[in-house]
Structure 1
Amino acid sequence: MTRLLKTIVTALLSLSLLAALAAYWGWQQVQGFADAPLSLDSPIEFKVERGTSAKALGRQLVAQKLLADNWQYPWLLRLQPELGAIRSGLYQVEPGTKLRQLLALLVSGKTKVFSVTLVEGLTVKEWQSQLQTAAHLSWVEQPFLKTLQDNGDTSGLPEGKFFPDTYSYHADDSVLDLLGQSHRKMLQELNSAWAQRAAGLPLKDPYELLILASIIEKETGRADERPLIAAVFINRLQRKMRLQTDPTVIYGMGERFKGNISRKDLLEATPFNTYRIDGLPPTPIAAPGRAALMAAAQPAAADYLYFVSRNDGSHVFSVSLAEHNRAVNQFQRKAQ
């Protein structure tokens, strides 16, 4: 081998070595860049719009000051092209998240999950106010009525027909999807309670059971008392006695209720004044939970016809009017 040829080979080997060293250095730079935490001091919601490419995402990260302007990002996508298959949506990003982890999250499509709890004992109007302020939930007007219509219910009476529970959703999901779940769950729970009802109940159909359950829900929050409250109302219905329950009066008063019921209110003729009407009111007055539905379906085996509050969340139950009046004197009139 001539001296010139040796020189050329040596030069080529040196250049190859330098190229290899440069490539290794570049690879290390890219890997270090990918495993460095984003510039993030607190959790954020990070939105990837539909149609955003991985390259556009890099510009978005720089614009939002999560990454410094860099040369490593395009090279990371070349070295690991699978990290570029990002999906749109709203993501929760925590402090300490690395770029590689962020890209893996966006590739997974595991968008942020939100939840809303529809509390038992509340009305459709109260739930609507809550849902209107729920984060990232797509709103439509009259969602409860629209949900009923979408499910074949044209009655125009949404009260009580949605099950109280915690529901999950993703950003920009429609409120109709959430309420659809709630409505279908109420139908399921109501039909289950109706199928398990005790024999001889003075209730014509599942809707009447739903109405009664809503009253039970409003009368007590104590699990041990629900079957007893149900027994009182069932016994009164069987004896053709009026229910005389304050929550129905309050519901019928609507916005006029300011915290107290007057004698005039009890004498007012409204469809919901059970001091004036016979039987059940025309619709539920709130959303009953599973326990209230089952209490209406399976009331306690008790002869009670009356109950009065002890002012501590519990009630005194009585068989006779004389017993009831004594309890009223003890727990209500003395407290006034």
Structure 2
Amino acid sequence: MTKFFLILLAAALLALGAFAFWAQQPVLAPGAAAIDFSIKAGSGVRSAAQQIASENIPVNPLLLEALARATGKSARLKAGNYELKPGTTPLRLINQLVRGEFAQESLSIIEGWTFRQMRDAIALHPALKHDTALLSDTELLARITPDYKVPEGLFFPDTYLFAKGSSDLQIYRQAHATLLKRLNAAWEQRDLSLPYKTAYEALTMASIIEKETGQKAERRMIAGVFINRLKTGMLLQTDPTVIYGMGSKYQGVIRKSDLLTDTPFNTYTRAGLPPTPIALPGNAALTAALRPETTDALYFVARGDGSSVFSTNLPEHNRAVNKYQR
């Protein structure tokens, strides 16, 4: 009897050791392709293990269930979309399910994009759930904030991470919250002599600065020029606002007739700032709009290499235009 008991004990210890060894071995060999899998909401541990095995993941569902139960984590597995990476062990897989370490995706919103370009990029991302696809811009904005009527400029350009299968509303809400945080922080640090009545006006200016130059080092100087124009009552006369006002009519060229055609965004025909932002400004443009360079310059013209020449008077500006533009 004692001998039989010892045999059983040895077998149990051997099985336990083999089980512990299995739990620490990679499910996928190094260099193998990662595998996406999902756990449905309401799944128990047995169903979760079977769903994992059904996704062509080479793991024994009975052993995986036993491991979850043995570690006391069988009731804590979270539903969602996951990614099994090479080198992941069964024990690490259980911990991944408990912690809800969902498969991560990313989406980049680019500085200077319009809201339409942002919507197009989100609509084309295959890992998002497209809950806003049938919403108008106005309807979409109403899902995010009641404080604004036009979405242009209200979203911060950045790279956003999200779990695969997340609602696209998550991206919009996160980008809007980030924009408000950055804008409010810059507004609190603003030069109090600036002619803005609201932070929204500063956001509009930042969007113009964003479209005027790709040179971050010049943005505060360009902001200084526009502030000087606002303070002296000059027209802003900035081409990006004209282009925005033209909409689909813009085909890559601005003609003199376009500059003379009045729209709410034509700063050659209307004084002051346009009614809304014209693009999504980044942090450098926000900072420039609210902490502009102190300058006497009233004009600038592009050299053609991405940089600009600044002038304090019209004759000087005309000479620069003749040199670099004509």
**1:108 and 2:99 aligned:** yes
Q: Is the contact made by 2:138 and 2:150 (CA closer than 8 Å) also made in structure 1?
A: yes
Q: What does residue 33 of structure 1 align with? A: 22
User: CA offset at residue 32 of structure 1?
Assistant: 3.3
Moved more, 247-256 or 58-67: 58-67
Identity %: 41
**Aligned equivalent of 1:6:** none
Partner of residue 279 from structure 1, selected from 245, 249, 272: 272
CA distance in 2, matches of 1:77, 1:151: 40
Q: Give the 3-state SS of the residue equivalent to 1:22 in structure 2.
A: helix
In structure 2, distance between residues paired with 1:211 and 1:180: 20
Paired position in structure 1 for 2:190: 197
- Distance between the aligned counterparts of 2:296 and 2:6, measured in 1? 97
Partner of 1:302: 295
CA distance in 2 between counterparts of 1:208 and 1:77 reads 56
2:263 aligned to which of 262, 270, 277: 270
Q: Is the 8 A contact 1:83 1:104 kept in 2?
A: no
Aligned-pair RMSD on alpha carbons? 2.4
1:117-150 Cα distance to aligned partner (Å, 9 max, x none): 3222111101111111234323233486446424
CA distance in 2, matches of 1:241, 1:79: 76
Relative to 1, partners in 2 of residues 1:86 and 1:266: Cα closer, same or farther, differing over 3 Å? same
Provide the rounded CA distance (Å) in 1 between the counterparts of 2:105 and 2:166: 10
Matches of 1:196 and 1:35 in 2, distance apart?
53
1:218-297 pair list within 5 angstroms = 218-297=211-290
Change (3 A) 1:188 1:212: same
Name structure 2 gaps, 5 residues minimum.
Answer: none
Alpha-carbon offset, residue 204 of structure 1:
2.6
Deviation at 1:62, TM superposition (A): 3.1
Partner of 1:45: 36
Match of 1:9 in 2: none
| Structure 2 counterpart SS, 1:307 | strand
Corresponding residue for residue 66 of structure 1: 57
Q: CA separation in 1, counterparts of 2:108 and 2:54?
A: 36
Cα distance in structure 2, aligned partners of 1:201 and 1:71? 69
Instruction: Answer yes or no: is 1:21 the counterpart of 2:10.
Output: yes
Change (3 A) 1:81 1:201: closer
3-state SS in 2 of match to 1:291? helix
| Residue pair 1:143, 1:176 contacting (<8 A) in 2 also | no
Alignment of structure 1 residues 71-150 onto 2, 5 Å: 72-73=63-64, 75-77=66-68, 79-82=70-73, 85-141=76-132, 142=135, 145-146=138-139, 148-150=141-143
Could you tell me how far apart the structure 1 residues matched to 2:285 and 2:91 are?
50
How far, CA to CA, are the matches of 2:76 and 2:190 in structure 1?
54
**Separation in 1 of the partners of 2:193 and 2:10?**
89
Contact 2:303–2:309 (8 Å) recurs in 1? yes
- Indicate conservation of the 8 Å contact 2:68/2:94, yes or no: no
* Alignment match, 1:3: none
TM-score, normalised relative to structure 2? 0.88
> Could you state the TM-score of these two structures normalised by the residue count of structure 1?
0.86
Which amino acid in the other structure matches residue 136 of structure 1? A
Please list the CA deviations of residues 160-215 of structure 1 after superposition, one character each: whole Å capped at 9, or x if unmatched: 12222333322333332332232233233333333333244333322222211111
Asked if the contact 1:251–1:272 (Cα under 8 Å) also holds between the matched residues in 2, the reply is yes
The count of corresponding residues between Structure 1 and Structure 2 is: 322
Deviation of the 1:253 alpha carbon: 1.4
Shift of 1:18: 2.2
Contact 1:214–1:284, Cα closer than 8 Å, also in 2: yes
2 CA distance for matches of 1:298 and 1:29?
66
User: 1:257 Cα shift?
Assistant: 1.7
Q: Considering only CA atoms, is the larger Rg found in Structure 1 or Structure 2?
A: 1
Q: Which residue pairs with 2:162 in the alignment?
A: 169
Structure 1 residue 84: Cα displacement = 6.1
Residues of 2 paired with 1:225 and 1:27: CA distance?
68
